[in-house]
Structure 1
Amino acid sequence: MMHEIRDFMANDHRACDDFLSAVEQAVVKGAWELARVEFARFRDAVLNHFAAEESILFPLFEQCTGMYLGPTQVMRAEHLQMRQLLGAAETALTESAAEDYAGNAETLLIMMQQHNIKEENVLYPMCDQRLAAQLDTLLPELRKQLAEHERAAT
């Protein structure tokens, strides 16, 4: 079986992780201005990933499976929690509050890792299975949505 949705979306998870690492490195060096710039890139990448899922992937999955209260609902709830953590971490960075930032970033990282595992091992494979017939239109739409961030970041 093809894993196109899983591979494509998992690659975007890795890209988001890399952006967070860049923030981390800047914070460790005490380079607050750089940390804020890198965090904005990370935040935008994550929010864009959520948008691709919430506006394109999840609705199509729900429509095709009739599962409106299943895994997509759980993922949306986790997105909401992560958006709150993103906001708290960003506020801490704005105030150069290292401890506050570290606490929020650590919680966010743990939550992202658990969330990504669920998506990559459960939801995306279900999407690959149930949305195989829609891949030709779905993947370009996801690609376009995720590219929005790339354009915004440059």
Structure 2
Amino acid sequence: MAFPPLWDGSTIGRIGALNLDRNQTIDRASGQCGRIPESVKCPRGKYLMPINVGGAGAPDNGSSDSGRLGMDAITDFMAEDHRSCDALFVAVEQAVARGAWQAAGNEFRRFHDAMLHHFAAEESVLFPLFEQRTGMYRGPTQVMRGEHSQIRQLLSAAESALAESNADDYAGTAETLLIMLQQHNVKEENVLYPMCDQYLADQLETLLPELQKQIAGEERLSR
């Protein structure tokens, strides 16, 4: 199978920046996630204003009445968690801009944990299932795992800069991290997640709750 140009590692061009206003708050209350059924809650709840990373949202293709799962259920669910992680990143940026280093550190820990839980959901649940179903072990999932490793390194660098209250180092690392997250999310939301929706449609009833469990960090409690 030939993959779209997004997978060649090149720059994807201009992508919308995180656009939460500094005066807006993030609503962490739980809610429903697009067309995902009521039995599956949004990964980390909704917030007041979406973050634009390129308009990768899937088109509305029907309701979820009678427990019916939408054609884009995986894309919707995982993209919602992208937005939630983005919102946590914005909170870190806002704290740094105020010079509130302790608050920035606290917000960063929330962001960092959210990112690792998101990666765990993909690497331990979604990617292996996709690979087993398609036989594609060296395709898009391999690319995404490599980018996860790079993002983890950037998260570590940002954490060190925050611990030293080094605004310049943090700003440089955060800018690189932002660009990489934007490109990474576009690849997943435009290519990989839709492929997962196509090949894993018969697995949704068990797959979505397991993804939610990983994203919420509940897998650590069950060990």
TM-score normalised by the chain length of structure 2: 0.66
1:90 aligned onto 2:90: no
| Aligned twin of 2:73 | 4
| Aligned twin of 2:104 | 35
Calculate percent identity across the aligned residue pairs. 72
Deviations 1:7-26 (A, max 9, x none): 00000000000000000000
Question: Cα offset for 1:126?
Answer: 0.1
Work out the CA distance in 2 between the residues paired with 1:7 and 1:148.
Answer: 20
**Amino acid paired to 1:30:** G
| Aligned twin of 2:217 | 148
Work out the CA distance in 1 between the residues paired with 2:177 and 2:79.
Answer: 17
Question: Cα offset for 1:146?
Answer: 1.0
Residues 4-153 of structure 1 aligned to structure 2 (within 5 Å): 4-148=73-217
1:68 is paired with a residue whose SS is coil
Deviations 1:130-152 (A, max 9, x none): 00011111001001111227x99
The list of structure 1 runs, each at least 4 consecutive aligned residues, that deviate by more than 2 angstroms after superposition, is none
- Aligned pairs, how many? 151
**Amino acid paired to 2:200:** L
2:165 is paired with a residue whose SS is coil
Work out the CA distance in 1 between the residues paired with 2:81 and 2:161.
Answer: 25
2:216 is paired with a residue whose SS is helix
Deviations 1:110-139 (A, max 9, x none): 000000000000000000000001111100
**Amino acid paired to 1:131:** L
Work out the CA distance in 2 between the residues paired with 1:117 and 1:57.
Answer: 17
**Over aligned residue pairs, what C-alpha RMSD do you find?**
1.4
Work out the CA distance in 2 between the residues paired with 1:102 and 1:46.
Answer: 19
Structure 1, unaligned stretches of length 5 or more? none
**Amino acid paired to 1:148:** G
> Structure with the greater relative contact order (CA < 8 A, sep ≥ 6): 1 or 2?
1
Work out the CA distance in 2 between the residues paired with 1:148 and 1:88.
Answer: 23
